[in-house]
Amino acid sequence: MNTFLSKIIAHKREILKLQKETISLEHFKQNLTDRTPISLLSSLQQSANGIIAEFKRSSPSQGNINRSANLLKTIKLYEKSGASALSILTEERFFKGSLSDIKNIRDKTSLPILRKDFIIDEYQVYQAKQIGADAILLIASALSLNKCVQLSRVAHHLGLEVLLEIHEEKELEYLKCQPHIVGINNRNLHSFEVSIDTSMQLIKQIPTDYFTISESGIDNKETIRKLKESGFDGFLIGSALMQSSKPHSLLGQFTSPIIQ
């Protein structure tokens, strides 16, 4: 496993150990919420733009992005500006997220919420269900194929949808995880370098019956146009929106070429 990703995963294991000592997996299983998740896939399919707007305060590749951003205000702007869904970072150390971020906005929006985190244990899938997430992210480069399949099955069992993230050709075998959505990350988690060409090349090898989105490095209308023409159904946009002084205006610009 690469240096950057291994640091994140190592820290995640430490956090999980502490969380399990506080609230057991068995507790989650015995006290499952009866809330019916909102379908992320259906929301994206029925939208005019397929945009998942992301809230993140920081990242290991960019450092501080917008630590002072107001969560509720931001997601309301996303909602009003045409976002089809929300992605909320819950990773604590490197992205400055929190489980409470999803808890605090769950009843404040009708949009589906993707829990964006480094999910490596079924405990986190139950966590996602409990805090009100509608879908989880599974990152191929952070998981063995068997573990990915296992976590996907747990998510399906709980009624949560799975967004599978891949970055290179060898990870195409992870489609065996039966994801609802496939995301191609343009950011190399080994080096943090970003190239839209990653999406352009990998989309050619993904069966057309998958709903496919492009992630990372999407910050202008021309990029969205090219990706759309290449066959992408949707897009996950975070840093560009979080760094903008007028995210609602920028999001409106992003949706316009797709709608037209």
Catalytic residue flag (residue 12): no
**From 47, 58, 185, 239, the catalytic residue:** 185
Q: Is 216 a catalytic residue?
A: yes
CB atoms within 10 A of CB 211: 20
Render 192-216 in DSSP notation, one character per residue.
Answer: --B-THHHHHHGGGS-TTSEEEEES
Residue among 43, 84, 215, 239 flagged as catalytic: 215
Burial class (CB in 10 A: 0-12, 13-18, 19+), 3: exposed
Residue 168 falls in the annotated catalytic set = no
Amino acid in the structure at residue 221: K
Catalytic pick from 49, 79, 87, 116? 116
Is 215 one of the annotated active-site residues of the chain? yes
Q: Which of 79, 91, 122, 165 is catalytic?
A: 165
Whether 92 sits among the annotated catalytic residues: the reply is no
List 187's β-bridge partners, or say none: 194
The one catalytic residue in 47, 49, 56, 79 is 56
CA 118 to chain centre: 10
DSSP characters for 111-179? S-EEEES---SHHHHHHHHHHT-SEEEEEGGGS-HHHHHHHHHHHHHTT-EEEEEE-SGGGGGGGGG--
Single out the catalytic residue among 49, 59, 216, 239: 216
What residue has token string 């640091």?
7
Task: Give yes or no: 222 in active site.
Answer: no
**Contact in structure between 129 and 33 (CB atoms under 8 Å):** yes
What whole-number distance in Å separates Cα of residue 2 and Cα of residue 7? 9
Catalytic residue, chosen from 43, 47, 49, 54, is 54
Q: Is there a catalytic annotation at residue 165?
A: yes
CB 218 within 8 A of CB 237: yes
User: Which residues are tagged catalytic?
Assistant: 54, 56, 116, 165, 185, 215-216
